[in-house]
Amino acid sequence: MTGKVFTKIFNIINAKVAFVISRYPDDETQINDWYLQLLVDIKSGDVIHYVDFLTLLISWLEQKEDYVMCADLFKLKNKIEKWI
């Protein structure tokens, strides 16, 4: 995977995280903790960390019964899995 694609994925996920936080401001600390761990993990250059993060976020959103956002993130996760 090229650096350009890696950066594009990062920017998309960054925007999605900001959107999720805007919908669930009471859970900002939890989401930011997960996101911080993603930032640490992706320094390895392994895209699988994006998939792992999205899986965690999707699972959390399912508990919130936010199925529209789950579907959106699931589509993104599937695209990333095809690229790796």
Asked whether residue 68 carries a pLDDT value surpassing 90, the answer given is yes
Domain hosting residue 77, numbered range: 3-83
d(C-alpha 43, C-alpha 49), whole Å: 10
Measured in residues, the chain has a length of 84
Domain count, the chain: 1
The contacts of residue 17 (CB under 8 Å, 6+ apart) are 31, 35, 57
Q: For 6-52, how does the pLDDT look when each residue is reduced to its tens digit (9 = 90+)?
A: 888 889 999 999 999 999 999 999 999 999 999 999 888 788 899 99
What angle in degrees, to the nearest 10, is found between the helix axes of 3-23 and 67-83?
170
Q: For 70-79, how does the pLDDT look when each residue is reduced to its tens digit (9 = 90+)?
A: 999 999 999 9
pLDDT score recorded for residue 1: 61
